[in-house]
Amino acid sequence: MFGISPLGWIHTLGSLPAIPAAAYMFSRFGRIVPRSSAGTIYFVSMLIGGITIFLIAHQSVSYIIAFVTLALLLVGYGVGRLPWPQTPKGYVETISLTLTAFLLALPTLSETLRRVPDGHPFVTDPKSPILLGVMAALGVLLITGLTAQVIYFRKRMHLFQDSKSVSATR
């Protein structure tokens, strides 16, 4: 079915929970929150997907995407443990984990368009206008989303700093 091997199904089904977990966190918090139940589901699913891709990938770019995704995932989830000030950690965490969601969406959308519907996929050519349009839209969404997250985070930090300085003067 869909030309997916048994190991491919393990990869697909193992990484699939990351999609609704990310969607939930983006809609609820505006970012991926590592220290949450959804964040744990996201982390485990992304690890499964990132590791298993090394076993099923056919293109060298897949290995690069998997390696970068795993590196960003570990940075995003690990930066909170570093003895840095909170502000830089928040930026690194947010940007790293948003990039992992982008790197999850990129092959997910591409593979879905090239496999569905079974036997007559929407896209058969990697240079298809549909595929290129979806990838361009995903790029715009990434740039817009990251910009919004940084602006929101900056405003939140300013509000936090202002409230600290007001309470310190009392």
pLDDT value at 160 more than 70: no
Residue 4 pLDDT: 87
Task: Tell me how far apart the alpha carbons of residues 93 and 101 are, in angstroms, rounded to a whole number.
Answer: 12
Residue 117 preceded by cis peptide, ω within 30: yes
Phi, psi of 106 (to 5 degrees): -55, -60
Average pLDDT over residues 55-83: 95
Number of domains in the chain: 1
Average pLDDT over every residue of 46-50: 97
Interval 118-129 mean pLDDT? 93
- The answer to whether position 54 is within a domain reads yes
| Owning domain of residue 59 | 6-169
Q: What pLDDT, on the 0 to 100 scale, is given for residue 163?
A: 57
pLDDT band at 87 (very low <50, low <70, confident <90, very high): confident
Cβ-contact 42, 76 below 8 angstroms = no
Could you tell me how many helices (H) and strands (E) the chain has, helices first? Answer: 6, 0
- Given pLDDT bands bounded at 50, 70 and 90, which one contains residue 66? very high
The answer on pLDDT for 129 being more than 80 is yes
Q: Evaluate whether residue 82 is within a structural domain.
A: yes
Beta strands in 37-152 (DSSP E): none
Summarize the confidence of residues 137-155 as an average pLDDT. 94
Of 57, 91, 97, 56, the C-alpha closest to 76 is 97
pLDDT at 84: 85
Residue 167 has pLDDT above 90, yes or no: no
Alpha-carbon distance of 124 to 167, in angstroms, equals: 61
| Residue 69 belongs to some domain of the structure | yes
Residue 1: inside a domain:
no
119: left (phi over 0), alpha (psi -120 to 50) or beta: left
d(CA 160, CA 85): 14
Q: Render pLDDT for 110-120 as a digit per residue (tens, 0 to 9).
A: 999 999 998 89
Tell me if 40 is assigned to some domain: yes
Instruction: Give a yes or no: residue 84 inside a domain.
Output: yes
